[in-house]
A and B are shown apart, each in its own frame.
Chain A
Amino acid sequence: GQSLEQPSEVTAVEGAIVQINCTYQTSGFYGLSWYQQHDGGAPTFLSYNGLDGLEETGRFSSFLSRSDSYGYLLLQELQMKDSASYFCGSDKLIFGTGTRLQVFP
């Protein structure tokens, strides 16, 4: 089976950088995706890492190390609108419990 673990909550201030970690216990793992979900909203796709290393998309980057069973989402130049829940998921469609990010002025 698979399980993915994330911190439950992270706080930061506007303009800062924050890293949300995702560690996993799994077999047959190929890649890691990240989704953002605002309160009352639908999850929206952010990124997918099918290979080890860093993927950059604007202010957001995602990293995967399959040898360490670990990945993270890096958010730079934080804005108030980044306050949301972020969750990682495997390509077996198993998800982490989500990390609630609160950005303060």
Chain B
Amino acid sequence: ETGVTQTPRHLVMGMTNKKSLKCEQHLGHNAMYWYKQSAKKPLELMFVYSLEERVENNSVPSRFSPECPNSSHLFLHLHTLQPEDSALYLCASSQDRTGFANEQFFGPGTRLTVL
């Protein structure tokens, strides 16, 4: 266990559905991240939150909407997704966001399938 939990672990949704992914970290970290991991592709950074403020948004389509209500919780709200959005969505946290020297702790991911 890394101290980062994600729910649900698996999700199947239709293109018209609305769903949310949840991430919780129990490490007292100040930065949280959403990544997309697709087969044969590099891990893609989607969003970065530092002290509950979004500090980075890597040109992610608006059908993905993050929310960080406090430093321990991070959500990814999904609506009108496309089949190509099917992937493993990973949440991570680090002590702060001063660069990669800060070890990132990843959750187990949510395997999302869009039909």
In the complex, A24 Cα to B106 Cα: how many Å?
Answer: 23
Number of CB contacts from chain A to chain B under 8 A:
55
Q: Is the interface of A mostly helix, strand, loop or mixed?
A: loop
A97 touches B100 (CB 8 A): no
Asked if A31 and B2 sit within 8 Å, CB to CB, the answer is: no
* Cβ-defined contact, B106 with A97, below 8 A: no
Is the pair A98, B42 in contact by a Cβ cutoff of 8 Å? yes
Residues from chain A with a CB closer than 8 A to the CB of B4 are 42
Q: Is A89's beta carbon under 8 Å from chain B?
A: yes
Is the C-beta of A33 less than 8 angstroms from some C-beta in chain B?
yes
* B113: min CB distance to chain A, Å: 15
Total contacting residues, chain B, CB less than 8 A: 22
Q: Is the CB of A42 within 8 A of B42?
A: no
Q: B108 touching A94 by the CB < 8 A rule?
A: no
What is the CB-to-nearest-CB distance from B20 to chain A, in angstroms, rounded to a whole number?
20
The 5 closest A-B pairs by CB, nearest first: A91-B100, A42-B106, A91-B99, A95-B43, A45-B103
Q: Using a CB–CB distance below 8 Å, which chain B residues touch chain A?
A: 2, 4, 33, 40-45, 48, 90, 92, 99-101, 103-109
Can you list 9 A-B pairs, Cβ within 8 angstroms, ordered by A?
A31-B100, A33-B100, A42-B2, A43-B106, A45-B104, A87-B43, A91-B99, A91-B100, A93-B100
